[in-house]
Structure 1
Amino acid sequence: MAKVQKTYTKEFKEEAVRLAQTSGKSITQVARELGISDTSIHQWRKELAQHGKDAFPGSGHQTALEEENRRLKRELERVQQERDILKKAGEHLFAGKQMIYYFIEENKQEFPIVVMCRVLDISESGYYAWRKRPTCQRRREDARLTNHIRQVFTSHQGRYGSPRIHVELKDRGVQCSRKRVARLMHEAELQAKRKRRRVVTTRRDATHPVAPNLLERDFTATAPNTKWVTDITYIPTIQGWLYLAVMLDLYSRAVVGWSMSAECSEKLVENALKMALARRRPKAGLLHHSDRGSQYTSLAYRSQLTQAGMIMSMSRKGNCWDNAAMESFFGTLKEECVGDSVYQSHAEAKQALFTYLEIYYNRLRRHSTLGYMSPFIYEKFGEQQAKRNV
């Protein structure tokens, strides 16, 4: 006698899967009780996870076109669901399996577990084994702290290492040690951008007089507008080099003046000086330090310094360490702002540099020399201290 192929209704299949998921019994035990194979339940569960309400459509009652439309609809829903999972998982994808397990656990009401495991390349058995393991308090705290670290790291576009992130977390009320932050960053593969060496852009004119090195590598200042340092760097673009002149106040490391141009000319440094003077209005006696580049030794530039009552100081010939504060600043700017970017035009580069200098560096970026305060916050703090001492 020929064996009769059993068929099951959509409702039967759905209830069988639900029973296997909620009864606490194994799939094999449920299948035995229902008189079906455990393979069937496994297959039905996958179909239900992938297609939802459109699972188990039946056969023989639709035209070929209707069946194809249903299939395409299910495929689109599947793709959209996978996109939603990947979009929401986002930062968890590179934080290790533990964080992915946490994500699946937190979102199991929104997405099927089997789908999340497949999309996030995690085995279901691994996830369920993780659920059964008791999670120690320390690991739970590490997971939460890693989330905080990643938020700070992302908000500063990968510019912060463990010291600055540690200070940022402390200010946000998150208590932890710097070594722990460093360890968790290493485990999460979060590494701050590295500084690069700077290429010399200024050239000396032997016919111009030079000033002695009065700064003598003392890059400290007890008050604003007492010591300024300045230099020029270049930014690569598809349109050609964009030159940037910057002036720093050594008291707070604030950028007090800057100028950008396609030409590395005297006008470039003059404009940076004009901006600094207009912004800060320093008193006579300010020490102005630069290298011996022809832009800084020109008659026009020296005349402007004299009119402002500034004292000129210059690095020794070929000695970059005499202006190390500027060297350090440009190294930071090249790594944190430019990085591997190749700007399409001068206008694009100018916008990026303006945003970095005026919005990020002066107002937000924590400076190790300033006790991990931003330049402007450090200056405000100094003003408050001065008022208290009056």
Structure 2
Amino acid sequence: MTHRYRFISTHRATYGVKRMCRVLNIRRQGYYEWLEAAPARAERQRAEDDLAAEITEIHTAHRQAYGSKRVTVELHRRGRRVNRKKVERIMRERGVVGWTRRRRRSLTKQNVTAPPAPDLIGRDFTAAAPGERFVGDITCPPRKAGSIWRPSSICTTGR
């Protein structure tokens, strides 16, 4: 809707507000309310620019490592009450990105010296009757009962 109001504002000298509102199918009162709210919008934008400058200052003071959560905490410490989502939005719009110096750690380490598990069935997964060969692994999909995890001994190929 705002783009229509902006269009009317730029072309009102040529075509007139009443005609353009009729053509664009919007209320004239809505246009005038938008026009009246311009100083308030400018004030909000100025306040947001000030906040963005403070966010950038905090971000650079901490070696560009702080993300929105830490920046919000620092703003609270400085006495500035601001919502974390607003800080996130401003950082995203201005391209201010925090990064972590932590290295990702895996919980399990593969033992490269261990021999592989023996292939006891010789990769022959066929069975003459149900219950003859039991094979499986931890990636077995859930059974009929829902999304309850089943141990690998339940997952059989001989069905």
TM range (shorter): 0.3 to 0.5
Higher relative contact order (CA 8 A, sep 6+): 2
TM-score normalised to the size of structure 1? 0.17
Q: Which has the higher helix share?
A: 1
